[in-house]
Amino acid sequence: MLKIISANVNGIRSAAQKGFIEYLARVDADVVCVQELKAQEADMKPEMRNPNGMHGVWHCAEKRGYSGVAIYSKQAPDNVQYGMGIEEFDREGRFVRADFGNLSVISLYLPSGTSAPERQELKYRFLDAFYPMLETMKMEGRDIVVCGDWNIAHQNIDLKNWKGNQKNSGFLPEEREWIGKVIRDLGWVDMWRKLYPEVPGYTWWSNRGQAYAKDVGWRIDYQMVTPHLAERALHAHIYKDEKFSDHAPLVVEYDYSL
């Protein structure tokens, strides 16, 4: 059994204060992918670097209190890739990959375009750069999971208010088409949607209004999986018993051994 969690914590220090480290101890995952660390390595306490004795690798943003991704694992990785090899994105700490035998796990934090038009342009540049990377990784013949906050809701089912968001970043036609091509043309499997075709599966809620209480959410956190591993997926859930951030952890279990 292989249990993988993806969680945007919106600040590892904040999430730790809300019980995230204790949650990881209880859930006993094999691999945990975290996004939006909002911390440098020096800012993190030992339990944030290596929660419950897990191995930790991270790619922090140059800017303090911003972005950053990490992978925690029971088993030490055989190899780690820090960043995409593209300075514009790597200085924002958006990609880290860990290899375990024939399995590769990636923690991804795709840019949001909501704050300004230039950030949406950067998001499009990221999509243009990341698509061929996904194509290359798919051709490696390895079992790969790309976990993270993709900041795109793919279909109408993936957000509550889809009619009112068709001109907003995260649900723009070009973004939706891009993620559709990742699935349709490249053959990556959206694990939640494959397992639960008719369950919305929201993972993020705006802090405005009563979005969380009324479950007016978006599904923008994914585990995108290569086909062989996707066939081994058993079940998944979104953990909402506690609230660590404006996102909820996505947990998928696979019939797979490291």
User: From CA 236, how far away is CA 215, in angstroms rounded?
Assistant: 19
Q: Is 149 a catalytic residue?
A: yes
Is 50 one of the annotated binding-site residues?
A: no
Is 165 one of the annotated binding-site residues?
A: no
DSSP assignments along 53-114, one per residue: G-EEEEE--SSTTS--EEEEESSPPSEEEES-S-HHHHTT--EEEEEETTEEEEEEEPPP-S
Is 151 one of the annotated binding-site residues?
A: yes
User: From CA 67, how far away is CA 46, in angstroms rounded?
Assistant: 19
User: From CA 247, how far away is CA 239, in angstroms rounded?
Assistant: 10
Is 128 one of the annotated binding-site residues?
A: no
Catalytic member of 72, 190, 247, 256 = 247
What is the DSSP secondary structure assignment for residue 159, as one 8-state letter?
A: B
User: From CA 156, how far away is CA 200, in angstroms rounded?
Assistant: 9
Q: Is 109 a catalytic residue?
A: yes
Is 149 one of the annotated binding-site residues?
A: yes
User: From CA 161, how far away is CA 183, in angstroms rounded?
Assistant: 23
Catalytic member of 149, 158, 190, 221 = 149
Residues placed in the known binding site: 8, 36, 149, 151, 246-247
Please give the positions annotated as active site: 109, 149, 247
Residues placed in the known binding site for Mg(2+): 8, 36, 149, 151, 246-247
